[in-house]
Homo-oligomer: A and B are copies of this chain.
Amino acid sequence: MPDDHRPVRNEEEIHLFVERMAMAFADVGFPRMAGRVLFTVMSADEPLTAAEIGERLEVSAAAVSGAVRYLTQFGMLVREPVKGSRRDRYRMPGNPWYEATITKTGLYKNFIDIANGGVDALLGQDTPAGERVAEMRDFFLFVQEEIDALGERWRARRAATGHSDPAG
């Protein structure tokens, strides 16, 4: 028995964090179960198997299967076969997914394109309606550009505070 004086994990509080974070993500369109799985793995010190994820969340294997398929598709989760076992392990990628998610998402790109169509349909900016839509488009355009630049500043800041830049 190792003489281990570290405090033990408060699984209850951790689970609360997982559920809250997943819900916050669900509120902005992220699939519910995918969020729960994602943050379960994130809050584990070791990579987890599908069965372990299912246990911790008390959900079916089917639900886990669907969620990890979704998550690995976008590189938010990495699947690792375990040598000499049928099980796979799941872990967080080394490159933080949220950075790419926020900065590369093109969230506003969609708004901009549609708003552009609106300006055309409204015969340019010479009407009150056209002017309003054009202004909205310009704002989203501005935000999109700013957020593109933001990713660069974040990486610079992290490098300055002594973080490496690991790959997934």
Contacts and interface: CB of A to CB of B under 8 A. Distances in A.
A13 interface: yes
5 closest Cβ pairs, A-B complex:
A13-B121, A17-B118, A20-B114, A14-B121, A43-B129
B128 A154 contact: no
A56 interface: no
16 contacts: A7-B123, A10-B121, A13-B120, A14-B122, A16-B117, A17-B115, A17-B122, A24-B110, A27-B29, A28-B29, A42-B132, A44-B129, A96-B136, A96-B139, A98-B136, A102-B143
A9 to B, nearest CB: 7
A157 to B, nearest CB: 7
Interface class of chain A by DSSP: helix
B20 A133 contact: no
Nearest to A117: B17
Interface of A: 6-7, 9-10, 13-14, 16-18, 20-21, 24, 27-29, 39, 42-45, 92, 96, 98-99, 102, 107, 110-111, 114-115, 117-118, 120-123, 127-129, 132-133, 135-136, 139-140, 142-143, 146, 150, 153-154, 157
A108 to B, nearest CB: 9
A126 to B, nearest CB: 9
A99 B139 contact: yes
A157 B142 contact: yes
A111 B154 contact: no
- Count chain B CB atoms within 10 A of each CB in A27, A117, A121 and give the residue with the most: A121
A114 B21 contact: yes
